[in-house]
Structure formats: structure tokens, C-alpha cells
Amino acid sequence: MINIGPVARPQFTNKLVVFLAATAAALLAMYLFWSFESSVRALLEQRMGANPSPSPDTIISIVKLILIGSLGYLFVRGLNFLFFGLAFRFKRIDAPTLIRNIFTIVAFTIFFLIAFTFLFPGINLGALFTTSAIFGVILGLALQDTLGNFFAGISLQADRPFQVGDVITVGAERHMGVVEEISWRAIKIRTFTNHVVLIANSNAAREPIEVCPRDNLNARLVFFNTLYSDSPAKTIHVVREAVREAENVSTKVPPVVRIRDLGDNGVDYEVKYWLDDYAKFNDTDALVRQRIWYAFRRAGLNFAYPTRTLYVDRHSAGTPGDGGALVERLSAVDIFAPLSIEETGMLAQAAVRHVFAPGEMVIREGDPGSSMFVVHNGRVRVQVNENGRPRTVATLNEGDFFGEMALFTGEPRTANVVALEETEVLEIGYAAMKQVFDTNPNLVESLSFIMAERRQGLAPQPDTDTESTHSSKSLMSAIKRFFGLSQ
Ligand code: CMP
């Protein structure tokens, strides 16, 4: 991978060599000037005539002030390094650039004022500053922006809304990058195309700033879609598993996959994931999309593309090609075992397929009902309300059936039936059942027996064979009556 991080800074030793060389040069210059001061004065007096203005003494003092000032500047830089560079590091604290700059400015100003009073004892600096209104105006105008930046920088340091290493997005222009420095003048950020952007502190103070702190779990959203024929429960599971293992996706919070919209071309999803290192979100987004693509391939899921779907609704499950699977499913249901292949085929033709999401209710206790269901794929739970709390009485798997009680007796539904996972059921209505009972009345007997057993499970009752046979018989005659069969 190409490293687009900040360019390496000059080595510490290089800086030290430059610093020492500059100090030596300043000292040498001072030594030479002080040694040849009288010769320089004589030369100036000779060149400048009788009443020179400014006087040679003033010129010499100004040069001295410049030389002392240079040395003073180097001295302050040295102090700055000793204090912030070494002492702070020793305590493992990184001093903010702005604080270092303020230190340099204040220390140098004090040094300069002392040198000035020493070299120009006749000039009262206080009076000069207070009486010079023009000086004040000029200074104020010249420093307007600088002071604005300076004070905005101070407030940034005080508030600390972000720090070096955080990813920020600033203003309407949406400058986004990693903060590299917050100085007395500007915030320096490195964009994800390795450009450096400087944002003046006073601008930053006026603009909205979005901050993604470095030591925070920042999230991203990646969008994708599937065809309507792909199951949401499967898609959500497949994508969550694919994304959670991608590099830089935090293991602290599992990714969230959810449907955003039922779009024109397909089901629109988003996956929300949290990053260990937010500064690498571009790479991680790309990796997440790649993982989704491969996971789709393996799971047989399909991305949606602009399509127009033409449905011919035959209002039945009997789509050509899968009729065989339905007949197979229904003939494996124990109560339909006595049926011939033609009779089972009749039921399969009449059956209507429904898919329920995990947690969805297929049947609600107390509702009227005139159909029964066979679990084709998935699992359901049968629950009854007991003193306002649900009690599970059974879990039904593929090939099991439910909803027969209301269908065969005309009474309201006796329990809630809830999908435990994505579940496909086959619904069989009264008309289809009547047709089957007419051709195969033996079915009523086996059905009545199972229904009697289920009824016993609904309410605590004495569980004896005699009771069960008794209620099975009364159910059988109830069913025969309800379906108009001979007793
Ligand atoms: P119905 O009363 O139409 O609707 C709720 C269904 O839950 C009911 O038919 C039965 O099919 C099913 N049911 C009720 N009790 C049990 C049980 N103990 N075991 C399995 N299924 C049951």
C-alpha cells in the first residue's frame, strides 16, 4: 500500500546543527562589531559630515539592537526547546504549537524591551506607546487579521474541540482531512489526497466543523441493494458476517445491516460499521463493498439493477417447476399421509405461499380463521397467553402444520403462532380441505386425534388416554358437521 502520510520532518540532529551554527554566527558578529565599534563610529562620522541625522551613535545602537535581538531570538528558541521539547516530552505531554508560539513571542518581547531600554536609555517606551495614537491605529489595522486568528486560536486551544490526529471537515467547502497542527494562525489539515490545507483560525471559528476524534468509535454507512427476490433475513445475515471480519472494522460493536428503502429497482440497504482508525475510512469503505460482492456471490444473492418486473399473478403457489417440491412437502406431512398423489397434488395447487420475517406473527390468538398452514421452510413458535404472559406450547419445524383448529371447527384461533426465523408457509383454505375430505373421509379421524392432543397442551388438563379419546371423538363429529360430511 502507498503511504500518503506526512512527509518526514528534518532530523533532530540537523536542527541542532543549524541552531548551533546560527548561535555561533551571531556571537561572532557581536564580537566583531564590539571590537571594531570605535573604527565603525569614526568611519560613520567621516562619511556623514557635521550634523548627521541619525547620529552615528544611534546607528551603532540600532545595529547592536539587531545583533542582540538575533541572539535573543536564538536564546528564546533554545529555551522553548528545552522547556517544551525536552521537559514536556519527559512528562509525556505534547505541548500545543500555539502555547509554544505564545511563549516565544512573550519571552522575545521581554528580552527585546530590556535590550532596547539598555541601548536607548533616553527613550521612554511607555510614553511612546501611550502617546502615539497613530501608532496604535496602524498597529490595530495591520494586526486586525492576525489578532483575530490569534484569539480564535486561543479559544480553539481552550475549548479543544479537536486535536492533532482527529479527522475534521470544515465549512461549506467541506475541507476534510487529518489535523496535523493547530498554530496561532491556522489549522493545518492533510487531505486524503495528501494535500495540505491551511484554514485560518478566525475562519474556522465562524464555520461549522465536523469532528471525528481519533480515540472515538466513528461509524460509516455503506449502501447496497438486492433484487426483490432475495430474502432480507438472509441478506442481512450474510452482509453482517462479511463486514465484521474486514480489516479496520471494529470488533467492539457488530455492524448493523438494515433496509433503507423499498426502491424502484430493488431493496435498498445500508450497512453501518465502526472503524478502529477513522482516517482510513476510504480504504475500509472500499474493502467493505468488496467483501459484500464476494459474500453475495457465495450466497447466491443479486445486486439490483434497473429492471421492470412483470408479474403474472396466478394467486397460487403452483408456479411451474416447483409444484413437485410442494407435493413432496405436503405428502411428508403426517396428516396427509392417507392421501393419494393426485389428492396431494390438488392441495399443492390450491396452496398459497407466504414468507414471514423473524418475529412476525402468522396467527393471532382470538382472530377468526378459515385456513391452516404447513411450514415449508423455517420454524415457528406456538404461544398462548397465560395471565398476560406468553407461554410457549410448541415449536414447529419444516413439515409441521398449524391453524387447523379454527379451520376445522370454525372457532377463533386458540394461540399465537410467531415465526422464529425467516419462514415460508403454505396456506390451505376451507374449499381445498373440503374437496380432500369429500374424497378421503378417513383423514378426519387422524386429524381429530392430533387436534385433541394439541388442545390438551393449551390448557392444563388431566392427561389421560380416556379423556383424549373422548375429546378426539367429539372433535371428529364437530369437524364432520362443519364440513357437511356424513357422521
Ligand atoms: P388454531 O387454533 O387455528 O390457531 C393456533 C394454532 O396453534 C392452532 O390452531 C394449532 O394449530 C396450534 N397449536 C395450538 N396448540 C398447540 C400445541 N400444543 N402443539 C402444537 N400446535 C398447537
Contact partners, residue 302, CB within 8 Å, separation at least 6: 226, 227, 229, 230, 296
Do 178 and 283 have their domain in common? no
For residue 415 and ligand 1, the question of a CB distance below 6 A is answered with yes
Share of the chain above pLDDT 70, in %: 85
Tell me if 239 is assigned to some domain: yes
Share of the chain above pLDDT 90, in %: 40
Give me the amino acid identity at 101.
N
Tell me if 388 is assigned to some domain: yes
For residue 402 and ligand 1, the question of a CB distance below 6 A is answered with yes
> Cα separation of 187 and 197, whole Å?
8
What are 193's three cell numbers?
489526497
Angle at the Cα of 384 from the Cα atoms of 383 and 385, rounded to 5 degrees: 125
Do 169 and 49 have their domain in common? no
Tell me if 150 is assigned to some domain: no
Number of other residues whose CB lies within 10 A of the CB of residue 103: 16
> Cα separation of 377 and 425, whole Å?
7
Phi, psi of 110 (to 5 degrees): -60, -45
Q: Whose CA is nearest to atom 9 of ligand 1?
A: 403
| Average pLDDT score, the chain | 84
Do 208 and 278 have their domain in common? no
Do 340 and 412 have their domain in common? yes
Tell me if 428 is assigned to some domain: yes
> Cα separation of 340 and 427, whole Å?
20
Give me the amino acid identity at 353.
R
pLDDT, position 334 = 79
- Residue-range definition of the domain harbouring residue 376: 322-483
395 near 379, Cβ under 8 Å? yes
The SS3 of residue 368 is: coil
Task: Kindly provide the residue ranges of all beta strands, DSSP E only, lying in 6-156, ordered along the sequence.
Answer: none
CATH at residue 173: 2.30.30.60
What's the gap in Å between 415 CA and the centre of ligand 1?
Answer: 6
Q: Whose CA is nearest to atom 12 of ligand 1?
A: 402
Do 327 and 468 have their domain in common? yes
What's the gap in Å between 363 CA and the centre of ligand 1?
Answer: 10
Q: Last residue of a domain, which of 299, 332, 362?
A: 299
For residue 480 and ligand 1, the question of a CB distance below 6 A is answered with no
Specify the ligand 1 atom closest to the Cα of 455: 15
What's the gap in Å between 455 CA and the centre of ligand 1?
Answer: 8
What's the gap in Å between 414 CA and the centre of ligand 1?
Answer: 6
pLDDT, position 259 = 97
> Cα separation of 52 and 44, whole Å?
9
Task: Work out the pLDDT band at 3, boundaries 50, 70, 90.
Answer: very low
Pocket test of ligand 1: the residue of 380, 414, 461 to mutate, having most ligand atoms within 8 Å of its CB, is 414
> Cα separation of 275 and 284, whole Å?
8
The average pLDDT across 284-301 equals 95
Segment 344-365, tens digit of pLDDT: 999 999 999 999 999 999 999 9
Into how many domains does the chain fold?
4
Do 403 and 376 have their domain in common? yes
Do 468 and 444 have their domain in common? yes
Look up cell 391452516; give the residue. Answer: 372
260 near 203, Cβ under 8 Å? no
Report CA 334 to chain centroid distance, whole Å.
Answer: 50
What's the gap in Å between 454 CA and the centre of ligand 1?
Answer: 6
Helix (H) or strand (E) holding 196: strand 196-200
Do 204 and 235 have their domain in common? no
Do 347 and 459 have their domain in common? yes
Segment 253-265, tens digit of pLDDT: 999 999 999 998 8
Do 205 and 121 have their domain in common? no
Which pTM does this prediction carry? 0.54
Q: Is the pLDDT of residue 152 over 80?
A: no
For residue 383 and ligand 1, the question of a CB distance below 6 A is answered with no
CATH at residue 346: 2.60.120.10
Q: Last residue of a domain, which of 131, 150, 184?
A: 131
Which alpha helices (DSSP H) does 160-280 contain, by range?
A: 201-206, 232-244
Helix (H) or strand (E) holding 155: helix 144-159
Do 406 and 438 have their domain in common? yes
Do 472 and 328 have their domain in common? yes
Pocket test of ligand 1: the residue of 334, 364, 382, 479 to mutate, having most ligand atoms within 8 Å of its CB, is 382
Specify the ligand 1 atom closest to the Cα of 414: 2
Provide the sign of the torsion angle of the four alpha carbons 243, 244, 246, 249, taken in this order.
positive
Tell me if 275 is assigned to some domain: yes
What are 86's three cell numbers?
525536552
What's the gap in Å between 229 CA and the centre of ligand 1?
Answer: 30
Give me the amino acid identity at 73.
Y
pLDDT, position 400 = 94
446 near 411, Cβ under 8 Å? no
Tell me if 472 is assigned to some domain: yes
Specify the ligand 1 atom closest to the Cα of 402: 11
Q: Whose CA is nearest to atom 22 of ligand 1?
A: 454
> Cα separation of 484 and 480, whole Å?
6
Q: Is the pLDDT of residue 322 over 70?
A: no
Q: Last residue of a domain, which of 212, 229, 253?
A: 212
359 near 334, Cβ under 8 Å? no
What's the gap in Å between 486 CA and the centre of ligand 1?
Answer: 26
CATH at residue 235: 3.30.70.100
End-to-end CA distance of the chain: give it in Å, rounded: 82
